[in-house]
Structure 1
């Protein structure tokens, strides 16, 4: 039976099966998002506001994510799925790139199972529900690796320049793409040193920097906010860290692979000398391990989120699949993929699981609760803003401002961040200024006491305390004030 199945992978039937499975998984994710009762998460809402004012840079990220959302909403509208659509499709596109990489390095059979593995990895299945910079970064990471393989084989100008363009677009998505460029340089230095005597790889790198250069100029013109923010979260953060944080990070990586593929990956690491003898797993791990090393160092220093090494999962998954297939462990691979799908399903339907077991206060135990209730607060705030059309909407934190700007997008309210210090500590403090509103009214939304803000206005009227239920015991609250005649900071 296995031989018959394997033979099918060598022709178009394997591709058709892969496409069909991919479409089912994509449709499943879109349906899950629509059924979760959520709106955008804070970062997604902030990225949406960026997309309303396209620029070459933003406070915490380069412009790729804003451009992706602008394209997505132009095609599908500003609703929940419209905002997320193109980002959600980046992971299936990355799986297709992994299929091409595995096919070039191994064979059709390995390519098929590698693509399925990437499609069903818990890491990408979770990230695939949301809009994040990891979506574009993972896509360009895998496409760049495919272009690099083509360039090594052909040494054609077109392939090297394509590689440079993909790396440049990756850098515009997230500066983490620099780790890919570093890995490529070291790979050429170690195994293809004569290529460095050619102008082609250097011009590819020059093209990548040229594509990034408008963002670098934007940073110069705005006193380097993105670079300072990136340095702050990677170099200057002092809390936490140590072996406990490192262990937690690697436990999260194992879970994000799934138990079987994660265990195979650790075997590959334990047998690194043996893996290094075959240039195929060596190349795949070469473009995965440096990123994990960097993020592991960050975990030791302070802490690291599980998704910070997300692009590394793609080449590592190919290596793990190939290891299993080369040892005739296809049944174990299928079991591993089935477990991953079951784990993903458990996460996707976690709210229903909590309800089935009658868990008390489920909002406290659901990862989706952070994206719930904001739409209801927006609906309640809507008439208050309509009744005061000349007032500027202000908030004392980016979370409220980002969510309400998205939820009230039909009103397109004027908005500003409360920032008496003048320090640009987030996007809204960088891009908005309340000083031109001196002598005018404001609508303040806050979840904290408003005394200090209210003292800078001639009069204060509390309009409402808005409440959005998250469960029978938990609500998301927000106070709304009408502040008259701004005196200035």
Structure 2
């Protein structure tokens, strides 16, 4: 009932919020227009989900995001199932409550991103894993196959699903009882089902030079950053208190150290730690040598919530459990208030957190209005130099760009090779570069864009107010004769022409 009620509240918030799409959400919507087995930066699951929900209700923002709260509801039920199997119904209920009110889940339930399907399928796989030792016959075979399919679907959502495999491998290595539950037949069935589910995406990657794998690896690389960044490390660790919840994360870290040092970890604790610690420790290390986003450790959120609930109940720390729920409920109320009324976020000093979900529709309208001032058919394209602007303009200009003789939307390619999906699928070429309208968000890039044309007009600046302190501006100008300047063979970046 609690899961259903909070999910219904989140669905209502989706349809009531005036916030626009994040540019990444707009990109996923673009992918959903052409279904495939893979895309430049992500596996295909998110595009499939958007395709399904927008076929039901249309392309408006809430329908695009519809599956996010539903997937987190599924994850919550799986958390309950795992907690009940390992510790009992009380722990399952407490863990579900902690997960449902986790700050990261609040955000992820109202934004269409890859974390929601990843966590749903990983937790479904974990549920199958903990149930399998207690099953026999056909049910055991069914659970093995289901585990493999769930892991395959998790990989189709986000390659961070690798943490699920690490957790299984680690637990099997540590637990003789866990190994005894598996037979060659169940292992082969789980492995075969997982590979069969994932095979089309592997084939797509092979046919496209392993584009998604390379992009994921590039995100994990340090990319020229200084090694051993204590500031990045501190920021990431602090962010985990924010996304997991301050009291639950403190209990998770403190409980792990305390129980491990005193050798009081139970077998169930060890199982869940095998799934919780690898993403947390690996991404913490990555933040130290490079960088890491707060949600990159998300694969450990669900098993971590179960551990925290189990330990608080075991220690009879009722007051701390209530304090954790109350704190996270308060955060949820404030977050929903900001989502429903962005002016409240401005007054509360939280406007910066929502700036990427504002102003894109107005900016797109300003660009389209400028293009309409040109004689019909005189523009070969509208060109942008920022992938966020491209994605947002493609969504909010979906009834204009490329329709009824209006110019299509194109992406200026800065380097020798494409660096994102927009540059890959809609690059500006000579065929669309005779006469274009350029919309540039980045003043640094504007000079480089101009350098790629034989002539350009004077700039017109348009601005969109995001809140009391912030404004998004773009420079608009007509450019003619697309003739890209040479790119540096090492860096791939434009070489300035000599005057």
Which TM class, normalised by the smaller chain length?
0.7 to 0.9
Q: Determine which of 429, 447, 451 is the counterpart of 2:423.
A: 429
Paired residues of 2:132 and 2:181 also in contact (CA < 8 A) = no
Q: Determine which of 314, 324, 330 is the counterpart of 1:326.
A: 314
Q: How far 1:356 sits from its partner (Å)?
A: 4.4
Aligned equivalents of 1:448, 1:323: Cα separation in 2: 50
Alignment of 1:281 with 2:277, yes or no, is no
Could you say what secondary structure the match of 1:394 adopts?
strand
Aligned match of 2:497: none
Moved more, 103-112 or 41-50: 103-112
Aligned match of 2:471: 475
Q: Determine which of 158, 165, 169 is the counterpart of 1:181.
A: 165
Aligned match of 2:449: 453
Paired residues of 2:439 and 2:477 also in contact (CA < 8 A) = yes
Residue-by-residue CA offset, 1:430-465 (whole Å, 9 max, x unaligned): 222433625643332212454543455565456853
Q: How far 1:107 sits from its partner (Å)?
A: 2.2
- Relative to 1, partners in 2 of residues 1:101 and 1:448: Cα closer, same or farther, differing over 3 Å? closer
Paired residues of 1:265 and 1:320 also in contact (CA < 8 A) = yes
Aligned equivalents of 1:472, 1:323: Cα separation in 2: 45
Aligned equivalents of 2:422, 2:433: Cα separation in 1: 21
Residue-by-residue CA offset, 1:2-49 (whole Å, 9 max, x unaligned): xxxxxxxxxxxxxxxxx2x32332343344455554211121121111
Aligned equivalents of 1:483, 1:291: Cα separation in 2: 48
Aligned equivalents of 2:217, 2:273: Cα separation in 1: 26
Q: How far 1:251 sits from its partner (Å)?
A: 2.2
Listed as ranges, the matches of 1:20-169 within 5 Å are: 21-33=2-14, 37-154=18-135, 156-169=140-153
Residue-by-residue CA offset, 1:457-482 (whole Å, 9 max, x unaligned): 56545685332112345321123334
Paired residues of 1:33 and 1:129 also in contact (CA < 8 A) = yes
Residue-by-residue CA offset, 1:372-416 (whole Å, 9 max, x unaligned): 111111222334445646632321221111110011112353332
Q: How far 1:64 sits from its partner (Å)?
A: 1.3
- Relative to 1, partners in 2 of residues 1:148 and 1:442: Cα closer, same or farther, differing over 3 Å? same
Q: What value does the CA root-mean-square deviation take over the aligned residues?
A: 2.6
Alignment of 1:208 with 2:194, yes or no, is yes
Aligned match of 2:213: 227
Paired residues of 1:60 and 1:225 also in contact (CA < 8 A) = yes
Could you say what secondary structure the match of 2:438 adopts?
strand
Paired residues of 1:438 and 1:485 also in contact (CA < 8 A) = no
Could you say what secondary structure the match of 1:152 adopts?
helix
- Relative to 1, partners in 2 of residues 1:309 and 1:474: Cα closer, same or farther, differing over 3 Å? closer
Paired residues of 1:246 and 1:300 also in contact (CA < 8 A) = yes
Aligned equivalents of 1:258, 1:164: Cα separation in 2: 31
Aligned match of 1:408: 397
Q: How far 1:90 sits from its partner (Å)?
A: 1.5
Give the gaps of 5 or more residues in structure 2.
Answer: 403-407, 486-499
- Relative to 1, partners in 2 of residues 1:321 and 1:173: Cα closer, same or farther, differing over 3 Å? same
Aligned match of 2:359: 373
Paired residues of 1:284 and 1:316 also in contact (CA < 8 A) = yes
Aligned equivalents of 1:69, 1:399: Cα separation in 2: 19
Paired residues of 1:188 and 1:196 also in contact (CA < 8 A) = no
Alignment of 1:271 with 2:258, yes or no, is yes
Alignment of 1:396 with 2:385, yes or no, is yes
Aligned match of 2:488: none
Could you say what secondary structure the match of 2:5 adopts?
helix
